[in-house]
Structures are given as C-alpha cells and as structure tokens.
Amino acid sequence: MIEKFRAWNKNRHEYAIEWKKRTGGKVMGYFCTYVPEELLLAANILPVRILGSHEPQDVTEPHLFGMYCPFSRDCLAQGLKGRYDYLDGIMIAHSCLHIRQTYTSWDKHIPRDFSYYLPVPQNLQTPHSKPYLANEYKAFKKALEEWIGKEITEEDIERGINAMNDNRSLLRELYVLKERENPVINGEETMQVAITQQLIDKNEHSALLREYIKQLKIDNKQHDKTRLMILGSENDDIEFVEMVENCGSTVVIDEHCIGTRYFWNNVEESEDDKITQIAKRYIDKPPCPTKDWMDRNRVKHILHLAKLYDVKGAVLIQQKFCDPHELDIPAVKKALSEVGIDTLFLEFDVTVPIGQFKIRVEAFLEMIDNDDLF
Amino acid sequence: MSIPKYKTAPLKVWAKAKELREKYYKNYMTAHDTGGLRWAGGAWSFGAIPAGLGRDVYPLTGEPYGASIAFKKDFSLKCLEAVERKGYARDLCSYMRNYWGSIILDEFAFGGKFPKPDFHFQDHICCSHSKWYQVASELEGGIPSHSIDVSVGPYIDVNKSKIDYIVAQMHDSIEWLEKTTGREYNDDLLIEAVENEFRSTARWAEICVMNKARPAPLDEKTMYSLYVLGTLAKHDGEFADFYDELRDEVQWRLDNGIAAVEHEVVRLMSDTQPPWGFLKIFRYLESFGAVSIGSLYTFGLIGIFEDKPDGSWGARETPMQKGIKIESRDQALRLMADWNLSKPEWQHFYSPHLKSKMMLKIAKEWHVDGVMLHYNRGCEGLSLGIAENRLALIEAGYPVMTYEGNMGDEREFDESQTMSRMESFMETLGLNQLAV
C-alpha cells in the first residue's frame, strides 16, 4: 500500500490535474501550514501545498536575492517553470519572510484567478491572538465565498473540520505505531504518507491510510535499528531520509512542518463558533520557530517527542539561510544535549550532497551506538 | 555635460545631533547611578510605552547600536566571532550578531562593560526581532522580555480588528511593565511621548520632502547621521525639538540655494541600510557629481508619509495638526498603533510590489536619475523583495546598479569590487570623475 503513497508523491501534479477533471473543483496552491485547510475543504477546494522538486534551477535569480532559503527558491522555480499551471488560486498564511517572497513573486509573475495573503499572528502566546485570527479567518471565508460564488455554511465548515480531523488523527495513529520498540514503519514510509497528506484529497488519503494502518498492525515487519529523530526546517527530501536509514537507523519521529507540526493537534469542539474553534487549533499547534517567543515552547515539545519516542540521536536539519531555525538551533541542541541526546547538524540546499552527508551520518551513528571501529 | 556649481555650507545643527547621540548612550549607561531604569529593544518598538514609567527611563535600541559596532570594525569582528563560537549562523541579522557579541564579550561599544538592561521591550516585525531578545535574555541570564506582534498586514488593509489586536497587546504590555519594574504607570507621560513621536516622525518626513529640490539641501550620507536620532528614541521630546530645528535649517538652505554637494550633476537613490563601515562610497560617488538624495529606507524607516490631495508624497498630518486631543491611554495607544502601521518601510514586509510603488514615487518626485540597490546580506527584513524592486525600477526606465554587501559584517563587503561597479555605473550615466 505504501507504493500508492509513493506514486501520489511522485505524480502529484498528474493527481491534481486528474482530480480537477474528475470533480470539476478548484485547486488552491498554498504556502505554509498555518493555512486553514478546513475552510478550503468546506468550499470543496483541493488544497495542495506547493513544494520544490530538489533539482538545480536557474529561473529564480531575477526574483529572489540569493540569501533567501533554497526551499523558497525551489518552490518559486516550480511556478516559473509552469509545473503548477493547473492551480486556480494561491494563498499564503503569514509566516516566515522567505516564503512570503515566493508568494509575492508568484502572485505577480504567475497570476492565478484567486490570490490571498492571510495574516496570522506571530505572537501565539498572547490570548489576543485567537480572536484576532478568528476575525482573519472570517474575512478569508468571505473572500472564498465571493470567489466560488456560493455561501460556505456551518455544515460545510463542519464537514471541513471533520475531514481534517479524521486525516490528522490517522496520522497520529500511524505515528503511535512508531512509539513501539521495533516500529513496523520507517521514516521514509512515514514521510511518503505525511507529504501526500498535504497534496491529496483528504478523504481519499484518509481511506487509504486507514487501510494501511490496519495492514501495518498485522504486519510482522520490524525496524530495529538506531532510533533517530529528525527536526528543523521544511524537509520533504525523501532521498536524504532513505540515506539516513540505510546507514543503520530508523527515523522514528520528526518535528517538521511536513510531518508532526502539520497534523499533531485537532480542532476541538467547544462553545465557540466553528471558525474560532479552527483558529484555536492553529494557534495551539506545535509552533514554527518564527512564532515561538518569548517562551521557548517548541523546545519543550521537542523534548517531549524525544522522550515519547525513546530517541537515541537527533538530526537537526536547516534550510540554508533559514533564520527562524538558525535562531532556535543552539537552544534545541543544548536542550537535547542536557537530556543525553546527541545531535548532528546538517545544512540543506535545493539538492543535498548525499555522499558527504552519508559519511557524517555514518560517523554520527557510530558515535551514538559506540560501535567498534575494528 | 555641464558641471553646475552650487553654494554649500556645513549644517549648523550637526554638533547638536552628535551631542544628543552621545547624551543618549551616556544616559543609558548611567541610568542606574540615579535610580533610573534601562531597557533594550528595537528601533521599531513602541518606545513611547516604557516612557510612561518615568522620565528616568532610558532605552538602548538594538539596530543603531549594532550599526555603531559595525562602524568600529575591529570590535565588530570580535563580536561576530564570539557569536559564531556560541553556535549561531553567520548569515543571521548582523546588527543582532554585533549586539549579542557585545553581551557575550561584556564590552560596550562606548566604553566599559555591557550595561545590562532591566528589561527588554520589543515588537516583532521580521523573523528575528522577538527572537533577538529571546536569545539576548538567555545570554544575559534571564532579563524579563516582552514583545508586541504587529503582523497584521499592510496599512491599506488595516481595520478595527487589526488595531484591536495590537492595542490589546499594548495594554497588556503596560501591565507587564508595572509588574516587572514595580513602578506605577503614568498616562500623562505616555501621551506626551506619543505626541513627541508623531512630531519627530512627521517632521523627519517634512525634511525628506525638502530634498525634492534641486540642488538637494541634504545628501544621504549626512541624512544617516540625522535620521538616527529617530531610531534611538523617536518619542523623546529633545529629539522632536531637534527635528523642528533641523526642519527650519533645511528650509533656510532651500531658501538660500545651499546644496549638500557642490557639483550635483545626477541624483541617485539607494536602498536598504548601507555597509556602515564603508560610508565613504557615497563620497566616491560625489567625485563624479552624483549625489544620493535618499531612499525609502532613509526616508521611511522613521518618517511617516501619506499621499497628499495633489497625489504627491508628503509628511503625514499628525493627530495634533488634525486638532485631536489625546485624553486617555487607550486613545494614545490606538493612535500610535495606526501611526506606526503606516510607516513606509513597514509595507514591504507584505509585498515588494508595494515597496516598488513607493520607490517609483520617490524616483519621480525626487527627480532621480539612477538607483543603486544594496543587496544587503545583513538584513533579511529590508532586503526582502529587493530583486523584484530592481525589476520594477528597470521596467519603469531607471538605470539600476546593485552591489552585494552587509550593513554590519565587513567580511561580506568587497570594497574594491563595489567601487568598480560604481565606477561602471557612473560611466553608464555619462559621468567621469570631476577634475575639481
């Protein structure tokens, strides 16, 4: 079944084009996981996270100064090369400066029928962020209604919430399987599921994932290698994770926005209106470092994950020039070190030097496993 | 090309600007001697709020302090290397790294040990701003820190909900200040500081508008030393008075045809912070008869502008000029939030296209012949979208040169290459070095 997820990941554009043809619906390309997909699903829109292709490119230089992160450049390159021409709309939720440039350049040079810049609080630790975000979501809902020419009802929103909650809950269930001593699923497989969660129709994805989890629960396959955590900037580099695992490890947990930061919590029922409930979910989700101040809640969450998943080592990855993560890495490294977890720091570019990184990962695993060299 | 020759004269207020700057740092350093308070935060922070704690409360704003360190190249290098040894990346904001280095080394750029603040008071404009003081607090052993989020979108989209969000945080910040310092808050002092801020920032905009004249009464290198007071404490009454005085003097220069530069052949516009240790590049340009008349950065980091009825860009009318009497804390905070959100330099955080529009407005109204863009590796916030600005300026027909550097890390500035690029740019504008 994992092959289906792999195929979805590989053929993401073909899937979206086929989905449009099949449903007659609109496709929204989005940047950043603070976009409330619940409202897009309520409007019967397919949300597709815009990702890079990990290929060298030469089309973004006139638009983005080279000191901005490779992920933001790789994403823009996809648009400039016409790979997302099927998108009906694009949107961003206010997050880091880097990806904002991708959105604004895309908006100007690859215009779509609909474009929306959604302000999202950067201060998640003030009680005022929730009502403010709820108001922004209400304005966004109104813009969506004008675009699709149809009112988005309470029932529609409930349907959106249920689809998102179901999908996120299944991912949590999948990750619970990785808490086991010898997990039945490795990091590469999990990443395929997690990436496609942000590309595929949620109900289709959930249906397959439900079956996959059932199969895994009766599966005898076990991964008994060194338990690693991987965390940091955006990371959808399958080749890299495969390499790390082939060196003798299993990535049992991640803290990425493709991964746990995306699905960790659900919209919870409360007396608030539905949109406020959604806003609360996004404010309470594991934070992106650019929104994690003045307290370092992210570090606490990372330590919680490390303990829950019995992690032996952590690979800290950072997209080159990613300031928010650069500002967190020393604190994360220190906190993990204080609980006895060694770390390996690797800086990512659009493509990564697999050979060099392999040597470093092997050395890191030797160190944490205390392997005899001879 | 005929070479004009204009009358020039040094600025009479120059010495006062220097004196005020020195006094600012001295006040901060010695605040504790007389029972006063010290706080540190960004130049963009709502400094008028801590002013309500008393007249003996002195700020240290991080960006100008980081720039001051950059000017002292040897000390800057020590600071930057100290930060790198702590594990921080060298592509982070160079002001921030200079500032942290000063803490780590426990050396103040103006002598003595680093004077720890009693609290941090910041706002979050870019990815680094709140994190700057999160880390500073850790390096200083836990200084209480507070920051206000202003990420509500560009001014054209501002509405009541957005202002409410900021103002609610401002109210909380006052409670936090009272709790942190044990002092009772004085709303009259807040109102006074807010009015000072309106006055100084509108006045600076007025001064910048005067530079539309040919010859320009001020050149950008000189303007750097003048706008800086607004980045230190725009809410300070003495600073607001200084800008009144400066406005009068620049008006006098205009009335008497006093130019900033003797030979103004072409007028240039720059962008973003310059490499502070290498301001001589501006004097090099002048040797060709090129004067930099300013930039969105120099005008709009502190100056508050608005579109005037005739479509031109001018100083924003202050609430006082509109006859508004500020009578309560909430009213002062609301007006201050609205005022700050209209800051020109704030808009481009949401869209480089908004910035391009303002740059084109400056280029047209200030009669700019060419543009030099500093691709500044030291500030991801103000370099944001700069490549799109370049495209927009070229599309509008302006000659544009770029040079790469860093406002606060001299290791990333290639002086000879930059000079060569500038020389080529001058040549494309039809200029040769003046034989004068």
Q: Which of chain A's residues have a Cβ under 8 Å away from the Cβ of B152?
A: 119, 132
Give CA A277 to chain center in angstroms: 21
CA distance A99 to chain B (A): 10
pLDDT per residue as tens digits for the range B276-309 = 989 999 999 999 999 999 999 999 999 999 999 9
The three state secondary structure string of chain A is CHHHHHHHHHCHHHHHHHHHHHHCCCEEEEECCCCCHHHHHHCCCEEEECCCCCCCCCCCCCCCCCCCCHHHHHHHHHHHCCCCCCCCEEEEECCCHHHHHHHHHHHHHCCCCEEEEECCCCCCCCCCHHHHHHHHHHHHHHHHHHHHCCCCCHHHHHHHHHHHHHHHHHHHHHHHHHHCCCCCCCHHHHHHHHHHHCCCCHHHHHHHHHHHHHHHHHCCCCCCCEEEEEEECCCCCHHHHHHHHHCCEEEEEEECCCCHHHHCCCCCCCCCCHHHHHHHHHHHCCCCHHHCCCCCHHHHHHHHHHHHCCCCEEEEEEECCCHHHHHHHHHHHHHHHHCCCEEEEEEECCCCCHHHHHHHHHHHHHHHHCCCCC
B313-315 vs B305-307, strand pairing mode: antiparallel
Question: A32 CA to chain B: closest CA distance, Å?
Answer: 14
Are A327 and B128 in contact (CB < 8 Å)?
yes
Binning pLDDT at 50, 70 and 90, where does residue A371 land? low
Residue in chain A lying closest to B375 (CA): A65
A323 vs B: CB within 8 A: yes
Closest Cα of chain B to A97: distance in Å? 7
- Closest Cβ opposite residue B147 in set A119, A293, A329: A293
Distance in Å, alpha carbon of A281 to nearest chain B alpha carbon? 18
Domain count, chain B: 1
Q: Would residue B317 count as lying in a domain? A: yes
Q: List the domain range (segments joined by +) for residue B392.
A: 7-428
Q: What is the pLDDT of residues A305-343, one digit of tens each?
A: 999 999 999 999 999 999 999 999 999 999 999 999 999
Give a yes or no: residue B434 inside a domain.
Answer: no
Residue B436's pLDDT band, with cuts at 50, 70 and 90, is: low
Helices A187-197 and A238-246, interaxial angle, to 10°? 160
What is the H or E stretch that residue B40 is in?
strand B37-41
Q: What average pLDDT does this structure show over B22-36?
A: 97
Confidence of residue A146 (pLDDT cuts 50, 70, 90): very high
Q: Which candidate from B151, B352, B383 shows the least CB-CB separation from A119? A: B151
Is residue B1 in a domain? no
Would you say residue B2 lies in a domain? no
Size of interface A-B (CB pairs under 8 A): 133
Subunit contact B165:A121, Cβ cutoff 8 A: yes
Q: Please answer yes or no on whether A323 and B92 come within 8 Å at the CB atom.
A: yes
Look at residue A32 and tell me whether its pLDDT is greater than 80. yes
Interchain pair A327, B153: CB under 8 A: no
List, for residues A156-195, the tens digit of each pLDDT value. 999 999 999 999 999 999 999 999 888 999 999 999 999 9
Both tokens assigned to A58: 């030469």
Contacts of A105 in chain B (CB under 8 A): 352, 385, 388
How many CA atoms lie less than 13 Å away from B83 in the CB half-sphere?
A: 27
Cβ of A336 under 8 Å from any chain B Cβ? no
Does residue A372 register a pLDDT over 90?
no
pLDDT of B100 > 90? The answer is yes
Inter-chain touch A296–B134, beta carbons under 8 Å: yes
Q: Which residues contact A219 (CB under 8 A, 6 or more apart)?
A: A184
Please indicate if any CB of chain A lies within 8 Å of the CB of B81: no
Determine contact, residues A250/A186, Cβ cutoff 8 Å. Answer: yes
pLDDT of residue A221: 78
Facing B134 at nearest CB: one of A120, A132, A294: A294
The pLDDT value given to residue A223:
82
Chain B residues inside the 8 Å CB shell of A234: none
Residue B77 domain-assigned (yes or no): yes
Q: Which residues pair with A255 in a beta bridge?
A: A231
Residues of B in contact with A62 (CB under 8 A): 387, 390-391
Residue B331 belongs to some domain of the structure = yes
Q: Around B297, how many Cα atoms within 13 Å sit in the side-chain half-sphere?
A: 23
B93 touches chain A (CB under 8 A): yes
**Are B147 and B133 a contacting pair, CB within 8 Å?**
yes
Which pLDDT value is given to residue A59? 97
**B91·A321 Cβ contact <8 A:** yes
Contact B134 A293 (CB under 8 A): yes
Question: Cβ separation of B172 and A128 shorter than 8 Å?
Answer: yes
pTM summary value? 0.96
Average pLDDT, chain B: 97
Per-residue confidence band for B2, with pLDDT thresholds at 50, 70 and 90: confident
Q: How far apart are CA B166 and CA B152, in angstroms?
A: 9
Average pLDDT over residues A9-17: 98
In a domain, B436, yes or no: no
pLDDT of residue A222: 83
Average pLDDT for B15-30 = 97
pLDDT at B1: 65
B380 chain-A contacts, CB cut-off 8 A = 67-68, 97-98, 321, 323
Do the chains contact at A104 and B93, CB–CB below 8 Å?
no
Q: Give the burial string for B135-171 (b: 16+ CB within 10 Å, else e).
A: bbbbbbeebbbbbbbbbbbbbeebeebbbbbbbbbbe
Contacting residues of B for A126, CB less than 8 Å apart:
149, 168-169, 172
Selected residue of A98, A132, A142, A346 to mutate for chain B interface (largest B Cβ count, 10 A): A132
B142 touching A, CB under 8 A?
Answer: no
Per-residue pLDDT, A369: 86
Measure in Å the smallest separation between the Cα of B106 and chain A Cα atoms.
20
Tens digits of residue pLDDT in B347-392: 999 999 999 999 999 999 999 999 999 999 999 999 999 999 999 9
CB-based contact, A326 to chain B, within 8 Å? yes
Task: Please report the pLDDT score of residue A174 as a whole number.
Answer: 97
Look at residue B406 and tell me if it is in a domain.
yes
What value of ipTM does the predicted structure carry?
Answer: 0.95
A239 touches chain B (CB under 8 A): no
Give the tens place of pLDDT for each residue, A213-231: 999 998 877 888 999 999 9
- From B91's Cα to the closest Cα of chain A, the distance in A is 6
Q: What percent of chain A has pLDDT over 90?
A: 95
- Cβ of B381 within 8 Å of Cβ of A329? The answer is no
How far is the C-alpha of B148 from the C-alpha of B170, rounded, in Å? Answer: 7
